[in-house]
C-alpha cells in the first residue's frame, strides 16, 4: 500500500512539474529537505540528535560546485555521485570521534564542526567565493545538453528516483541487524555490549549512512539552485532538518517525507498570509505535533496501518 501511495504521489509531482513548471524548483527543494531529514532520522533512531548535519549537505554541494567549475561538461549524475562520495569520506573521518559522544555532546559537537565549516567557507573568499558563494554552470544530463526547463524536469525525475531509493534503503536498514542494534543503543547501550556487539561500530555505520543520505540532498540542492553558499551548512539549516525529522517521526523512512510536506506547507502558507508571524506559526505547529503525536506523524500512522 505504501508503494502504491508513493507511486501516485510521484505521478502527481511529475504531472505538476510538467504542467506547472514553476513548481519544479520548490518541489525539488522540498525533496532535498526530506532527504536530509531522512538522514538525520537515522541517528535519531539511536536517540542522537545532530544539530550539524547540514555540513554534509554543504560538503556535497561545494564538491559539486568545485568539480562543475573546474571540469565544465561533467555530467550531472557524476557530479551528484562525486558530491556524495566526498560527503561519505568526510563523515567516515569525522564519525571516528563523533560517535564516541552521546546526547547533548553529540548534538553540540556536530553543530560546532558545522560552524567551523561555515566560517571557513565564508572567509576563504578566493577559493569558496565567500558569502556570495559559487555559481554552478548547468551541466549536461546523461550526456545531453539541455535547456533550463528540460534540465529541471529531468532533475525532478532524478530527485524522485533518489528519494524512493534512499527511503527504501533507509527503511531496509531500519529492519536490518545493524538498524535494530542502532535503535537498541537508544534504550540500552550497556546491554548491547553485553551481547558482544560494539556500540561504537554500530553508531559509526549509522553515522556513515546518515551522512550519505544527507550528502544526496546537498548535491541535488546545488544543481537545482545553480549556486552554493555557506548558508547550506548553517546550524539553522541543520535545525530545520531536525524539525522535519521530529514532525515526521523516526519510526519509518516515510516520516521524513511527511514531515517535509507539512513543514513546507506551513512555511509557505504562513509566510504568504502572515509574513511577520511565520516563524511563530511554524514553532507553534511543532509544539502541537509533539504534544499530540510524540512519535511524529509516522507514529500516528503506524497505529492505524501496518507500516
Partner 1 sequence: MQPLIKTTGVQLSFGGVIAADNIDFELHSGERLAVIGQNGAGKTTFINICTGYLKPQAGKIYFDGTDITSMTPRKIVRLGMGRSFQLPQLFTEHTVRECIQIAAARQNARLTAFKPLAATVDTREVESTLELVGLREDGDALSSDLPEGKRKLLDVAMALALRPKLIIMDEPTSGVASEDKHGLMQTVMNALDERKVTSWFVEHDVDIVAQYATRVAAWINGAIVADGSPDEVLNDPRIKSEVLGN
190 in contact with partner 1 (CB under 8 A) = yes
Report in angstroms how near the CB of residue 213 gets to partner 1 at its nearest. 13
6 in contact with partner 1 (CB under 8 A) = no
Give the nearer residue to partner 1 in terms of CB position, either 65 or 214: 214
The cell 529541471 sits on which residue?
Answer: 152
Give the nearer residue to partner 1 in terms of CB position, either 149 or 193: 193
Per-position b or e across 208-244, b if 16+ CB within 10 A of its CB: bbbbbbbbbbbbbbbbbbbbbbbebbbbebbebbbbb
Query: Strand, helix or coil at 159?
Result: helix
Q: Is residue 17 within 8 Å of 153, Cβ to Cβ?
A: yes
Report in angstroms how near the CB of residue 210 gets to partner 1 at its nearest. 12
Report 224-253 residues binding partner 1 (CB under 8 A): none
The cell 521530529 sits on which residue?
Answer: 246
Give the nearer residue to partner 1 in terms of CB position, either 51 or 173: 173
155 in contact with partner 1 (CB under 8 A) = no
Report 36-95 residues binding partner 1 (CB under 8 A): none
195 in contact with partner 1 (CB under 8 A) = yes
- Other C-beta atoms closer than 10 Å to the C-beta of 85 total 15
Pick the binder of partner 1 from 1, 3, 97, 175 (CB under 8 A). 175
**Binding region for partner 1 (CB under 8 A) out of 64-72, 153-161, 182-190, 286-294:** 182-190
Cα of 296 vs its chain's centroid, Å: 17
305 in contact with partner 1 (CB under 8 A) = no
- Other C-beta atoms closer than 10 Å to the C-beta of 288 total 10
CA 25 – CA 156 distance, rounded (Å): 8
Per-position b or e across 150-184, b if 16+ CB within 10 A of its CB: ebbbbbbebbbebbeebbeebbebbeeeebebbbb
Give the nearer residue to partner 1 in terms of CB position, either 184 or 242: 184
CA 276 – CA 298 distance, rounded (Å): 30
Report in angstroms how near the CB of residue 290 gets to partner 1 at its nearest. 18
Q: Is residue 240 within 8 Å of 158, Cβ to Cβ?
A: no
Report in angstroms how near the CB of residue 302 gets to partner 1 at its nearest. 12
Report in angstroms how near the CB of residue 142 gets to partner 1 at its nearest. 28
Size of the site for partner 1 (CB under 8 A): 26
DSSP string, 191-248: HHHTTT--HHHHHHHHHHHHHHHHHHHHHHHHHHHTEE-GGGG-HHHHHHHHHHHHHH
Pick the binder of partner 1 from 8, 144, 193, 268 (CB under 8 A). 193
Q: Is residue 64 within 8 Å of 196, Cβ to Cβ?
A: no
Give the nearer residue to partner 1 in terms of CB position, either 123 or 191: 191
Pick the binder of partner 1 from 120, 148, 191, 290 (CB under 8 A). 191
Pick the binder of partner 1 from 57, 121, 184, 223 (CB under 8 A). 184
196 in contact with partner 1 (CB under 8 A) = yes
Report in angstroms how near the CB of residue 251 gets to partner 1 at its nearest. 10
Report in angstroms how near the CB of residue 179 gets to partner 1 at its nearest. 7
Residues that bind partner 1 (CB under 8 A): 172-173, 175-181, 183-184, 186-188, 190-198, 202, 205, 209
Amino acid at each position: 500500500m505504501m508503494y502504491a501511495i508513493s507511486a501516485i504521489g510521484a505521478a502527481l509531482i511529475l504531472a505538476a512539474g510538467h504542467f506547472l513548471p514553476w513548481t519544479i524548483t520548490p518541489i525539488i527543494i522540498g525533496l532535498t529537505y526530506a532527504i536530509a531529514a531522512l538522514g538525520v532520522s537515522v541517528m535519531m533512531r539511536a536517540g542522537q540528535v545532530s544539530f550539524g548535519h547540514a555540513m554534509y549537505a554543504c560538503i556535497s554541494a561545494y564538491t559539486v560546485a568545485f568539480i562543475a567549475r573546474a571540469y565544465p561538461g561533467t555530467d550531472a549524475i557524476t557530479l551528484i555521485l562525486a558530491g556524495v562520495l566526498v560527503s561519505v569520506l568526510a563523515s567516515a573521518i569525522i564519525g571516528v570521534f563523533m560517535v564516541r559522544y552521546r546526547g547533548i555532546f553529540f548534538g553540540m559537537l556536530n553543530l560546532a564542526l558545522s560552524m567551523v565549516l561555515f566560517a571557513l567557507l565564508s572567509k576563504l573568499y578566493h577559493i569558496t567565493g565567500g558569502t556570495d558563494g559559487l555559481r554552478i554552470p548547468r551541466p549536461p544530463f546523461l550526456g545531453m545538453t539541455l535547456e533550463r526547463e528540460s534540465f529541471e524536469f529531468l532533475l525532478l525525475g532524478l530527485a524522485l528516483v533518489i528519494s524512493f531509493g534512499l527511503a527504501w534503503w533507509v527503511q531496509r536498514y531500519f529492519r536490518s541487524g545493524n538498524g535494530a542494534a542502532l535503535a537498541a543503543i537508544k534504550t540500552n547501550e550497556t546491554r548491547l555490549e553485553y551481547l558482544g556487539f560494539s556500540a561504537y561500530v554500530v553508531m559509526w555505520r549509522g553515522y556513515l549512512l546518515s551522512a550519505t543520505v544527507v550528502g544526496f540532498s546537498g548535491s541535488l540542492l546545488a544543481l537545482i539552485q545553480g549556486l552554493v553558499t555557506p548558508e547550506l551548512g548553517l546550524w539553522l539549516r541543520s535545525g530545520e532538518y531536525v524539525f522535519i525529522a521530529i514532525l515526521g517521526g523516526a519510526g519509518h523512512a516515510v516520516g521524513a517525507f511527511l514531515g517535509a510536506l507539512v513543514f513546507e506547507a506551513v512555511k509557505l502558507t504562513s509566510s504568504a498570509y502572515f509574513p511577520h508571524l511565520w516563524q511563530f506559526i511554524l514553532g507553534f505547529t511543532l509544539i502541537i505535533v509533539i504534544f499530540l503525536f510524540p512519535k511524529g506523524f509516522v507514529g500516528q500512522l503506524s497505529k492505524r496501518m501496518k507500516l
